[in-house]
Amino acid sequence: MARRKIIEKHMANGVEFVNTDGILIGADVEIGCDTAILPGTILRGKVVIGEDCVIGPDTLIENSTVGDGCRIDACRIYQSTLHNGVTMGPFCHIRPNTEICDGVHIGDFVEVKNSVIGDETHIAHLTYVGDSDVGKKVNFGGGVITVNYDGKYKHRTTVGDRAFIGCNSNLVAPVKLGNRCFTAAGSTITEDVPDNSLAIARNRQVNKIGWMEHKEMKD
């Protein structure tokens, strides 16, 4: 009965529920007008959601703030702040003490923890960003990892504005990447990268011509 009354209160305030199946909303939750809450969404603790958002399906938000115009699909968000126009999901995990600024896109299978992600940054898929300060309009390729733990201490990574982080790059903290820098795909970055620089930290490819023929002869 209490669950139904809470949902009806939000409906009266202009919140849209396509279907209320599996939706749980705490008593302290605030939701803006013209926001849609889709099935399987759980909002618990002190949650504030802005106007014109789409939340769900299958999303959990706990003790967090979500700005206007956000789209969140099948995500877990804990003790964090999302600003306006954020798109996220599916299958993102936003851990405590994270701030995601305006217009950020976070795609599938991304985990962010204790970090600030600057305006209009894209983290498309299969990436871990932990203990990091990321600038504006940064692009993360697939498979990027911020290596923040040395076995004893956590360290921070800093990425400047408009940086491009190539696929499968490892950023070994503590490390700072400057504005408009570029890391080559597959690099393990252990030293600071200056502004406007390309960092390549991998061995050169070697092609051994005819190797398969020799292998088959030995076999």
Q: Is 215 helix (H, G, I), strand (E, B) or coil?
A: helix
| 9-48: burial string, b at 16+ Cβ within 10 Å, e else | ebeeeebebeebeebebeeebebbeebbbbebbbbeeebb
Residues 6+ apart with CB under 8 A from 28: 45, 46, 47
Residues forming CATH 2.160.10.10 domain(s) in the chain: 1-74, 106-200
Residue 95 has pLDDT above 90, yes or no: yes
For the domain made up of 106-200, the CATH class stated in words is mainly beta
Q: What share of the chain has pLDDT > 90, as a percent? A: 89
Task: Using CB atoms within 10 Å of the CB of residue 151, give its burial: 0 to 12 exposed, 13 to 18 middle, 19+ buried.
Answer: exposed
* Nearest residue to 139 via CA among 113, 120, 116: 120
Q: Which of 93, 122, 125, 155 is catalytic?
A: 125
Residue 25 has pLDDT above 70, yes or no: yes
125 assigned to active site:
yes
Q: What is the pLDDT of residue 1?
A: 64
pLDDT tens-digit profile of 125-165?
999 999 999 999 999 999 999 999 999 999 999 999 999 99
Q: What is the CATH number of domain 1-74?
A: 2.160.10.10
pTM: 0.93
Q: What is the pLDDT of residue 203?
A: 87
